[in-house]
Amino acid sequence: MSDQFAEKYRPKSKSGPVGQINELKDLVAGYAKQQTVDPLKTLGRYLGYGFAGSMVMGLGFFLLLLALLRGLQQFTVFNDPSQIDGGTFSWAPYFITSAAGTVLVVIFLWRLIVNLNKHHAASAHPA
């Protein structure tokens, strides 16, 4: 029984130079696919999820900043309901919101630079 199984799955010997050339061609094509196409598929999936995640986070931060602006506009210190133009400090919610947005951008850029420097240092000095 096991001899039949072994015979069934034994590699077929390709006789002659033509058979060996075809086997070499198949081997090289399989290796090229394994080393190029498969990593590119993985990279595409990785980039796709990264792009989608960054878009969702960007939308979330935008909505949080908008909520901060609308919340600050509800305070009577910044927005005097008795005056048509909102009062003297009606610009303050916009300034505070833009400052918070700027702080978020600076934090993200700082982390990006730190991570890029870390990866650059790791690739420059392989262990």
pLDDT digits (tens, 9 = 90+) for 68-115: 999 999 988 888 888 888 888 889 999 999 999 999 999 999 999 999
- Whether the CA torsion 113, 116, 118, 121 is positive or negative: it is negative
Which residues 6+ apart lie within 8 Å of 72 measured at CB? 78, 92, 93, 96, 97
Confidence band of 119 (pLDDT split at 50, 70, 90): confident
Q: Give the whole-number percent of the chain exceeding pLDDT 90.
A: 47
Task: List all residues 6 or more positions away from 89 whose beta carbon is below 8 Å from its beta carbon.
Answer: 77, 78, 79
Helical H segments across 16-125, by residue range: 16-32, 38-73, 92-124
1-15, 52-66, 84-98: which has the minimum mean pLDDT?
1-15
Domain spans of the chain, in order of start:
15-124
Which pLDDT score is estimated for 59? 98
Predicted TM-score (pTM) of this structure:
0.65
Higher pLDDT, 64 or 30: 64
